[in-house]
């Protein structure tokens, strides 16, 4: 019941009822990534080109799409990683979503959100006086 209410009234939690209906009617399942996001494409290619979309697992956050799927979503490759045995390059780090706005966000020294006392100012600073 809770999922139904979320789909009916919110757009940021996975999918809406409209997206669910559109996916059911016109979507072709392509694959799933390690975060649980599912990827779809249009069953019949429309005249203006293939339409591709993702249904996020949880909150809709675009930085949750890994690099291989990002390339497919933005039409940089024609074959999705699920069909192509995609492997990340040896120099690539594992994908991590953007933590901005969350508790895991970077908070520099002196930030009031850090919860620690602010470090004292350097004594080499001299204010300018005319």
Cβ count near 39 (within 10 Å): 22
Nearest in space to 30 (alpha carbons), one of 59, 88, 72, 90 = 72
Question: Could you tell me the CA-to-CA distances from 50 to 59, 66, 74, 79, 85 in Å, in that order?
Answer: 25, 20, 11, 12, 22
Structure tokens given for 109:
């020294």
In this prediction the pTM is 0.66
Distance from chain centroid for Cα 99:
10
Rounded Cα distance, 57 and 107, in Å: 27
Taking CA 21 as the corner, what is the angle to CA 15 and CA 26, rounded to the nearest 5 degrees? Answer: 110
- Interval 26-65: pLDDT, tens: 888 999 988 899 999 988 877 777 889 998 887 788 888 8
Instruction: List, as one string, the DSSP characters of 50-88.
Output: --EEEE-SSB--GGGS-HHHHHHHTTS-SS-HHHHT---
- Interval 66-117: pLDDT, tens: 888 888 889 888 888 888 777 778 888 887 778 888 888 888 877 888 877 7
């Amino acid at each position: 019941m809770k999922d139904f209410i979320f789909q009916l009234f919110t757009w940021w939690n996975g999918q809406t009822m409209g997206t669910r209906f559109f996916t059911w009617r016109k979507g072709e399942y392509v694959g799933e990534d390690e975060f649980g996001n599912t990827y779809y494409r249009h069953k019949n290619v429309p005249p203006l080109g293939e339409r591709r979309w993702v249904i996020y697992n949880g909150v809709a956050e675009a930085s949750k799409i890994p690099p291989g799927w990002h390339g497919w979503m933005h039409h940089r490759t024609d074959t999705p990683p699920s069909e192509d045995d995609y492997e990340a390059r040896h120099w690539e780090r594992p994908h991590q979503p953007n933590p901005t706005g969350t508790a895991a966000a970077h908070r520099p020294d002196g930030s009031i959100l850090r919860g620690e006392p602010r470090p004292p100012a350097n004594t080499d600073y001299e204010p300018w006086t005319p």
